[in-house]
Amino acid sequence: MRLSTEAKELKPSATLAINELVMKKRAIGQNILHLGFGESPFPVHLSVQEELKKNVDKKSYLPTQGIYPLREKVSAFYKYHFNLDYLPEQIIVGPGSKVLVFDLLLALEGPLFIPAPSWVSYQHQAKLMKKPVHYIRTIAQQSYLLSPNDLEEAFQKYSQQKQIQKILLLNYPNNPTGQSYDPSQLKELASVARDHNTIVISDEIYGLIRFHGNKHQSIAKFYSEGTIITSGISKDRSLGGFRLGVALLPSLEQELLKSMISIGSETWTATSAPIQYAAIKAYDISSEITSFISDCTAVHQLIATYVHKRIENANIRCPFPQGAFYLFPDWNKYSKKLSKMGINSSYDLAKTLIKKWNIATLPGSEFGMLDNDLCLRIANCDYDGSLVLNKFRENQKQAFNDPENFVKSFAPRISAACDQLIRFTESIK
Ligand SMILES: Cc1ncc(COP(=O)(O)O)c(C=O)c1O
């Protein structure tokens, strides 16, 4: 059988591929420390489990847009957590936000602009549909944040006419960097986007995993007419395998809404019925769900700041984490010495770490970085989420007072991975 060029060039998603490799290595008894997969390890909240059990008999096809009571809950959730006003009519529920991003890229005309580094899937999705992609490079010294100037320059470079529609994919808190924008930065980016007729797909799936008391704000606050928010329950509620995501559309975009529903109805039909009913509970703004989210976020913060401190002390550059569960360190200052060891790219670096040091990471090149930029994505999720959450709740004060002891005792693979990364760095001669 002959395949299309786009299909032939597409590899399995790097994050899923590394996870499978780790599982295989573990199955044959190798002790791999897994910093490669960004899956939040916390358990399914009991009330969501109960709701899923109650709705296990729901077997009918549901409306493509998603059931109304769920969209009502999503609407209230966005008002409560982010002070954003979206009517249930402006919300689409889909089988994960990944597919909703894909459908948006399919529905919207215009070239796609992506800051680099960025999450792995955007570029591949766009390439599958032959959409032109332009990367906008960001740098470690500016915490990999996109500046309004960078955006302006990219628009001028790639698109001579301001009025031609463009798409910007912005993700914050960010996978792979763990960085986020503050409201003043978002306001400036919104102004450049508006000026250049740019639709912003704002991937805010890590919005509630924001650290150090900072609250997530959406660019939609400053550019409601041109922003589409995508999000879901995979990260802050640890429900990735449930496969449910949402897209929140601007109020006046009836045509886009219709088109999204049509694309969904011709491809995935509707999100799984029992999952939609269970998600009504997951979108509750009751204290049991909100405190679950904030406790999990506090654990993510504790672990991310612990890992950051350890690797920074070992002379590895890494922007301080602001949210999500990733760090994006780089070994560029060791490039000459690493080259003598045969390591000339982030891919070589990741390969050496898994082969010789038993640590799985992902190379920066998977996230749109240049091959010779020696950066890696580290996901801080390799621990028993139920145990760590319970221990954290038992004694939060002690956990924050002595994070080293807490991580060593209850997330030992995380501290062991830090030990190995440090040993590897010290071995560079
Ligand atoms: C930045 C980003 N966006 C979207 C997704 C996909 O989320 P979902 O499970 O809702 O498809 C992920 C998951 O890894 C992600 O990291």
Q: Are residues 294 and 269 in the same domain?
A: no
Q: Are residues 338 and 379 in the same domain?
A: yes
Residue 97 in contact with ligand 1 by CB distance below 6 A: yes
Here the tokens at position 90 are: 């402006």
Residue 365 in contact with ligand 1 by CB distance below 6 A: no
Among 16, 119, 125, 275, which residue has the most ligand 1 atoms within 8 Å of its CB, making it the best to mutate?
119
Q: Are residues 326 and 362 in the same domain?
A: yes
- Ligand 1 centre to CA of 82 (Å) is 19
pLDDT digits (tens, 9 = 90+) for 219-253: 999 999 999 999 999 999 999 999 999 999 999 88
Average pLDDT score over residue span 204-218 = 97
Report the CATH number at residue 260: 3.40.640.10
Specify the pLDDT at position 5.
86
pLDDT digits (tens, 9 = 90+) for 161-198: 888 999 999 999 999 999 999 999 999 999 999 999 99
The C-alpha atoms of residue 429 and residue 408 are separated, in whole angstroms, by: 29
Residue 216 reports pLDDT greater than 80: yes
Specify the pLDDT at position 78.
98
Specify the pLDDT at position 355.
86
Predicted confidence band of residue 4 (pLDDT cuts 50, 70, 90): confident
Residue 14 reports pLDDT greater than 80: no
Average pLDDT score over residue span 351-374 = 93
CA distances from 112 to 127, 131, 133, 166 (A): 10, 7, 5, 6
Residue 39 in contact with ligand 1 by CB distance below 6 A: no
Q: Is position 90 within any domain? A: yes
Q: Are residues 314 and 406 in the same domain?
A: yes
Q: Are residues 272 and 373 in the same domain?
A: no
Residue 96 in contact with ligand 1 by CB distance below 6 A: yes
Q: Are residues 393 and 421 in the same domain?
A: yes
E-assigned strand segments in 54-192: 91-94, 112-116, 133-137, 166-171
Predicted confidence band of residue 276 (pLDDT cuts 50, 70, 90): very high
- Ligand 1 centre to CA of 232 (Å) is 8
Q: Are residues 227 and 316 in the same domain?
A: no
Predicted confidence band of residue 158 (pLDDT cuts 50, 70, 90): confident
Q: Are residues 255 and 320 in the same domain?
A: no
What does pLDDT average to over the chain?
Answer: 95
Residue 119 in contact with ligand 1 by CB distance below 6 A: yes
Q: Are residues 13 and 141 in the same domain?
A: no
Portion of the chain with pLDDT greater than 70, in percent: 99
Predicted confidence band of residue 53 (pLDDT cuts 50, 70, 90): very high
The SS3 of residue 369 is: coil
Specify the pLDDT at position 387.
97
Of 10-19, 237-246, 397-406, which range is least confident? 10-19
Q: Are residues 124 and 271 in the same domain?
A: yes
Residue 16 reports pLDDT greater than 80: no
Predicted confidence band of residue 284 (pLDDT cuts 50, 70, 90): very high
Among 37, 74, 98, 242, which residue has the most ligand 1 atoms within 8 Å of its CB, making it the best to mutate?
98
Residue 229 in contact with ligand 1 by CB distance below 6 A: no
Residue 252 DSSP class: T
- Of the residues 283, 301, 326, which one is the last residue of a structural domain? 283
Q: Is position 178 within any domain? A: yes
Ligand 1 atom at shortest distance from the alpha carbon of 232: 10
How many whole angstroms from its chain centre is CA 349? 23
Residue 205 in contact with ligand 1 by CB distance below 6 A: yes
Residue 180 in contact with ligand 1 by CB distance below 6 A: no
Q: Is position 34 within any domain? A: yes
* Number of folded domains that form the chain: 2
Portion of the chain with pLDDT greater than 90, in percent: 87
The arrangement of strands across the sheet holding 227-232 comes to: 91-94, 245-248, 227-232, 198-203, 166-171, 112-116, 133-137
Residue 338 reports pLDDT greater than 90: yes
pLDDT digits (tens, 9 = 90+) for 55-89: 999 999 999 999 999 999 999 999 999 999 999 99
DSSP string, 255-299: HHHHHHHHHHHHTT-S--HHHHHHHHHHT--SHHHHHHHHHHHHH
Q: Are residues 15 and 92 in the same domain?
A: no
* Domain region containing 25: 5-43+288-426
- Of the residues 252, 267, 283, which one is the last residue of a structural domain? 283
Q: Is position 65 within any domain? A: yes
Q: Is position 53 within any domain? A: no
Residue 13 reports pLDDT greater than 90: no
Q: Are residues 256 and 302 in the same domain?
A: no
Alpha helices per DSSP H over 83-221: 97-107, 121-128, 148-158, 183-195
- Of the residues 258, 283, 308, which one is the last residue of a structural domain? 283
**What residue owns the CA closest to ligand 1's atom 5?**
98
Average pLDDT score over residue span 252-262 = 95
- Ligand 1 centre to CA of 240 (Å) is 8
Report the CATH number at residue 312: 3.90.1150.10
Burial class of residue 63, CB neighbours in 10 A (0-12, 13-18, 19+): middle
